[in-house]
Amino acid sequence: MRKKELAIILSKLKGFRSPKPWLEQYRTPGNVAAELLWLAFTLGDLEGKVIADLGAGTGVLTVGACLLGAKRVHAVEVDGDALTVLRENVSSMGFEGCVQVFKGDVSAFAVRVDTVVMNPPFGAQRKGADRPFLLKAFEVADVVYLIHLAKPEVRRFIEAFVRDNGFLITHRLTTWLEIPAQFFFHRKRLARIAVDIYRFVRA
């Protein structure tokens, strides 16, 4: 499979039916998910590995990890409505045997994995909403992939937070994430924001 094929498949998965603004539920675009997953695949962090998708949403990263040969993906998600769609997406691809669903807050997840992949809340609606995801990732894995805002202040925060928790940044790729208007406070029909895709490893 090529990265472009992966992006096309992931872009066709079902999205949130009734996204919740306080959970910052935005669909992870297929192209952005493919960038993260392809990097993980080429570096040997996916195929045959046990993965955790923290804040799995509708399962875009979960399904993509299975497509690229993950042994098992723990899809961690607190919202039952999102998990309904996730299960539909997993079933449509025939990946029931690859995915283990964990319904609950990310802080309650306690399974040791090889690699974490995640597109967590950026903290736009609830300041600090991203921190529990980062802390859990650093607790359960030695390799972590993250999507976050490509802003100078966010980069400074990430660099310090990663260092303080005993991890190193090995890769940072910048791409564009498109968000269609779906909440009352959105002023544009389509917002295009720059995001960074990170790879962290335990120091």
Tell me the pLDDT tens digit for each residue of 133-142: 999 999 999 9
Q: Tell me the pLDDT tens digit for each residue of 58-87.
A: 999 999 999 999 999 999 999 999 999 999
Q: Tell me the pLDDT tens digit for each residue of 12-28.
A: 999 988 877 767 778 89
Please tell me the pTM assigned to this model.
0.93
3-state SS string for the chain: CCHHHHHHHHHCCCCCCCCCHHHCCCCCCHHHHHHHHHHHHHCCCCCCCEEEEECCCCCHHHHHHHHCCCCEEEEEECCHHHHHHHHHHHHHHCCCCCEEEEECCHHHCCCCCCEEEECCCCCCCCCCCCHHHHHHHHHHCCEEEEEEECCHHHHHHHHHHHHHCCEEEEEEEEEEEEEECCCCCCCCCEEEEEEEEEEEEEC
pLDDT over 90 (residue 8): yes
The CATH fold assigned to 3-202 is: Rossmann fold (3.40.50)
Q: Tell me the pLDDT tens digit for each residue of 42-57.
A: 999 999 999 999 999 9
